[in-house]
Structure 1
Amino acid sequence: MLALAGGCVAAAAFAQTGSDPFQLSGRAEQGGLLLGTAPEGTVRLTLDGKPVPLAPGGRFLIGFDRDQGTSTVLQAERASGAPLRQTIAVSPRSWRIENINVARTPGGVPSEAYRIHRAGELKRIEAARAVNSSSEGWRQRFVWPATGRISGLFGSQRVYRGEPAAYHSGVDVAPGSGAPVVAPADGVVVLAGPPAFSLEGNLVIIDHGMGLNSAFLHLATNTVREGQAVRQGQLIGTVGATGRATGPHLHWSMKWIDARLDPQALAGPMTPVR
C-alpha cells in the first residue's frame, strides 16, 4: 500500500461516507495524494475535467498541488448509467513563510546563449516527466531515498517586502557528501545524466507509473541509465552539490501529472537506508 501519513502533515485522513461513489484513502490536502478505486464499469475518470489514469480493477491516484484550492470534483463516466461525481474537500496546509524586510536582489540578466540552453534543459525535463511507464511502484509504501537532517521543507517560501519568491518544490535531506541515494519505490528511469543540468546538477528522474514520478537533484554521481527498471531500495546515485547548490544535499521532488507533491507526506517517518 501507499504510505500517505507523513512527518509534518497534520490533516486528518480522508473521511469516507457510505454514499460516496469512490473508495478513497489517504489525505486530501495540499501536496497530498489519494489512492482510490473507481465505481464498477468506469471507462473514463476525470479530476476537475482533466483525465486521470486508470489501472486494471479501477485503481487510480489523484494528487493535489501545493496551491490547490479547497475543493475538487472527481467524476467517473461509465459504460452505462449517468456519470458519478464526488466533491472532495482539500485541506489547506500551513507553509513555512519567511518574511524578509529587504528588497529582493535581482539576478543578473541571463545571456541569450544561456536562455537557449536552459530552454533545452526544461524541455528535456518536461518530456521525461510526461513518460507513462507501466511501473507499479505507485502501489508501494514509499521509503526515504536518503536519510539525514532535513534541511529544506516542501512548500516553504521567502517573501521580500511583499514580493514572494518561488516556493521550495521538494524536500532537502543533508546526510553528507557521498551518502547513498536509493529508489524510494519501483520505477523506470526516464532521465539520467550526463550532461549535468545548470540548476539541478546531476539529475535522475524515476517514473513510478500512473502519472507519479520522483526527481533527485544535485547528485555527485548516478548509477543508473535512462530506460532502466529499478527496484525499491536500489542504489541510484550519491549525494553531492552539483548545479546550483550551496552545499551537499539531496533535493527530492515529486509530481503527479502537473501537481507538485510533498515527498515527506508520502515517505512518512524517516528510517535509515539499508
Structure 2
Amino acid sequence: MRLAITTFLAATGILTASLTAQAAEPTYQGQFVQGGIVFGQTDAGAEVLLDDEVIDTIAPDGRFILGFPRDYEGPAKLSIKHVDGSVESFAYDIGDREFNIQRIDGLPPKMVTPDPAVMERIKDDSRQAREARTERFTENFLEDGFIWPALGPISGVYGSQRILNGEPRAPHWGVDIAMPTGTPVVAPADGIVTLAHPDMYFSGATLFIDHGLGMVSAFLHLSEIDVKVGDVVRQGDVIGKIGESGRATGPHLDWRINVGAARVDAQLLVPPMEEAQKAANANN
C-alpha cells in the first residue's frame, strides 16, 4: 500500500507534464481543480508566487505544493522568480466541481448556533489549530506518497454543505470513514506531529501531522491519540484510534488536508477506497 505519488498520479491519468522543454520552467503533478493539490518542481533557489502571494515553504531543490480551495475560481496566476533575476508568469484554468448541498429547516436555534458560553473555548481551539498549521518543514516527507489512514465505508466527502434554517454552515472539509470505535488510524504519509489535543469542542481528540512544504493532515473525533507533539511518524505507523469524540453523531474518522491556508480534498491524494480495500485484502 506504499504508493508513490508519481506512480499513482500516472496510473490515474492525473496531469504529469512539463509546460515546455525548458529546464527552468516548472513541472507539475496533480489536478488544477477546486479542492485540488498540485505538486510543483522548479529550479533550486527560485521564489514561487501564487496569485501574487509568496509561497513561504519551498524546498531547497525547488519543490513546492499548490492548494486550491473549494470555491477557487481562477485562473491561477503563478510567477517564478529565478535566481538570475528573471521572472516567468503562467496562468492556469481551474476546473469547477459540483458539491452536495443539503437544506434543513425547522431546527431549534440551539442546534444551529453554539451556546455563547462555549464560544471562548471554540475560539481558543481555533487559535491552537491555526498555530499548529503555521509550522513549516521542508524535509522530504512526501517521497512515498499517501495511503488511506483507515479503510472502510466513506460516510462524508469534501465540499458538502448544509444550510440550517436558511443559514449556510461551513462546508465539510474532510473525508469521513465510518468504522467502529477503536479501529486503528495510521499515518497516511511521513511527517511531524504538531498538535495532539485530547478534547476540542467540535472535533474532540484531534491530531495534526505536518508532511512538509505546507501540507498538514488533521485527524478528528479520535478515541485515542498514540503520539505526541514533536514525534516523527512514518507512513503506516499507528497514530491513534477512531472514535466519536467532539460533535460527532457516530464513530468515524474525519481526515482533512491543508496546503497552507487552503483546505483541499484529501481523496485526491489516494486511490479509490474500493481499490485500496481490494489491495489490502489481497495482501492478507
Return closer, same or farther for 1:41/1:180 CA change in 2, 3 Å cut-off.
closer
Q: Does 1:44 align with 2:72?
A: no
Secondary structure (helix, strand or coil) at the match of 1:85 reads: strand
Query: What residue number does 1:209 align with?
Result: 212
Alpha-carbon offset, residue 227 of structure 1: 0.5
CA deviation profile, 1:155-199 (whole Å, cap 9, x unmatched): 0112357643221110000122211100000000000133x1111
Q: Choose from 91, 95, 104 the match for 2:99.
A: 95
Query: What residue number does 1:248 align with?
Result: 251
Query: What residue number does 2:15 align with?
Result: 13
2: distance between equivalents of 1:264 and 1:151? 13
Alpha-carbon offset, residue 254 of structure 1: 0.5
AA in 2 matched with 1:142? F
Q: Choose from 74, 78, 93 the match for 1:74.
A: 78
Q: Choose from 133, 142, 149 the match for 1:145.
A: 149
Q: Choose from 27, 41, 51 the match for 2:31.
A: 27
2: distance between equivalents of 1:81 and 1:41? 13
Question: Is the 1:153–1:171 contact (alpha carbons within 8 Å) kept by the matching residues of 2?
Answer: yes
How many residue pairs align between the two structures?
268
Structure 1: state its 5+ residue gaps.
none
Q: How does 1:216-235 map to 2 (within 5 A)?
A: 216-235=219-238
Q: How does 1:54-73 map to 2 (within 5 A)?
A: 54-73=58-77
Secondary structure (helix, strand or coil) at the match of 1:46 reads: strand
The share of aligned pairs that are identical, in percent, is 37
Question: Is the 1:14–1:28 contact (alpha carbons within 8 Å) kept by the matching residues of 2?
Answer: no
TM-score, normalised relative to structure 2: 0.85
1: distance between equivalents of 2:59 and 2:97? 29
Question: Is the 2:16–2:27 contact (alpha carbons within 8 Å) kept by the matching residues of 1?
Answer: no
Higher mean Cα deviation, 263-272 or 248-257?
263-272
Structure 2: state its 5+ residue gaps.
none
Alpha-carbon offset, residue 119 of structure 1: 1.5
Using CA pairs under 8 Å that are at least 6 residues apart, name the structure with larger relative contact order, 1 or 2. 1
Secondary structure (helix, strand or coil) at the match of 2:99 reads: coil
Higher mean Cα deviation, 183-192 or 164-173?
164-173
Alpha-carbon offset, residue 231 of structure 1: 0.3
TM-score, normalised relative to structure 1: 0.88
Q: CA RMSD in A?
A: 2.5
AA in 2 matched with 1:154? Y
